[in-house]
Amino acid sequence: MHTPTAPATGAHTAARPRRAAPPPPPPGRWTAPVVRAWPALAGYALVRLVGIAFVALRLPDRGPGLGTLLAAKYDTVYYVHIAQYGYAAPMTDACAVQGPLCKYAFFPLYPALIRGVSAVLPLPAGPVAWGIAVVASLAAAWGIYAVARELAGQRAGVIAAVLWGIAPHAMVESMAYTEPLFTALCAWALYAAVTRRWAVAGVLASLAGLTRPSGSAVVAAVVLAALWTLFTRARAGRAGTGTGPGGGGGGRRRGRPAAGRADRTGPLLVAVVVAPLGWFAWFGWVGHRAGDWRGYFQVQEKWGSTFDGGSFTFHRIADIFRTLPTNLNTLVGAGTVVAALLLFALCCRDRQPAVLLVYAGVLLLIAVGGEGYFHSKARFLLPAFPLLIPAARALAAARPSTLYPLLGTAVVVSGAYGGYLMLVWPHSP
């Protein structure tokens, strides 16, 4: 009787082909932007940590600690006081020169956020103010990356975020100041305009107008871009050529227009109407409190801040060559102003979207044309991030053997200068 044998095993068994591992699922709609942006956010966070480390390692044994330097000095004192006690409560010592309306020079959105978060979290207002600024700085870096990526590609977007983190006076980005929040609102408002999300652009521009007086820059940029787009649509309609994708919002990466997003009249009108509301509302309220429509400008005059078209700024730059030696902060401020003007010329040559050019141009006009506070000119120019895009584009084209030494050196220089601002320079940054 024949007994069936078991099938052969071991080496005589034909090997079964292994199934290939399934490819990882593509990023979802909400996670894809985070996946793309994480190198920019990580790079920005790293250079800011290096900047803070420079200050921490050089702290003297006697004197204010790191927490005080970052969250309890200079303008932060006013914002925290406003958050805790409101605008009407007197600050006798701090406002001895500027008068009873001195706190009205500080716009309301940042202290309102401090007050709101302090009501939820069991933390003092100072640390809350610093935490809001840190979160806002990351949001600003993300927005800067997004705008630069639209114009010059992924690598340039990452580099632009890193450059903002090591710009002159970038130490302010890690302090309880309004520059991080303001830059975040402006960056995302401009990104919304470039990608033709007009209603979003109008809302964010209005919030920026409640954050700093230079919010007029992003308000002007969004309103003019939306009006220009409405005008070109109407002209194209009369000519019977339809509505093209070009317009005041500008273009996508490498100057190409955004595709697949119609410039509808409704969102454009929302941008035109909503964008100026925050800025004009605050100016109107301060005028009402002062009993004069020029109230805000009168408050600024008492703070020593007026507009002279640039005479003060250029005279101070000329004084550097007439009164040598001078201090490091004055040299950096003068160099930043000159570099900003040159970079703006490069932005114009590269034909950046008009909305970015208007924004950067108005910020330059405000910073350079303002009289007083020369030592803070570089800080006033921090939100003018479109000026960094030509440098980011050039560095993105460089070889790694050139790029990394340049950025590494810049990080060290920025950190050292941040330490100087915090520990040596006797005034506000």
Cα–chain center distance at 149: 15
pLDDT digits (tens, 9 = 90+) for 148-189: 999 999 999 999 999 999 999 999 999 999 999 999 999 999
Alpha helices in 166-308, H assignment, sequence order: 179-194, 198-208, 215-239, 265-274, 277-290, 295-302
Instruction: Please tell me the predicted confidence (pLDDT) of residue 247.
Output: 43
Q: What confidence category does residue 31 fall into, taking pLDDT thresholds of 50, 70 and 90? A: confident
Q: What confidence category does residue 27 fall into, taking pLDDT thresholds of 50, 70 and 90? A: low
Write the CB contacts of 180 (distance below 8 Å, at least 6 apart in sequence): 133, 134, 136, 137, 139, 140, 172, 173
pLDDT digits (tens, 9 = 90+) for 308-356: 999 999 999 999 888 867 899 999 999 999 999 999 999 999 999 999 9
Angle at 244 between CA 238 and CA 250, to 5 degrees: 125
Instruction: Please tell me the predicted confidence (pLDDT) of residue 161.
Output: 98
107, 178 in Cβ contact below 8 A? yes
pLDDT at 1 over 90: no
pLDDT at 105 over 80: yes
What mean pLDDT do residues 414-424 have? 96
Round the average pLDDT of the chain to a whole number and report it. 89
Q: Encoding tokens for residue 67?
A: 């927490």
Please identify which residue in the block is written with the tokens 């053997």: 401
Lowest mean pLDDT among 221-225, 239-243, 367-371: 239-243
Q: What confidence category does residue 241 fall into, taking pLDDT thresholds of 50, 70 and 90? A: low
Instruction: Please tell me the predicted confidence (pLDDT) of residue 94.
Output: 72
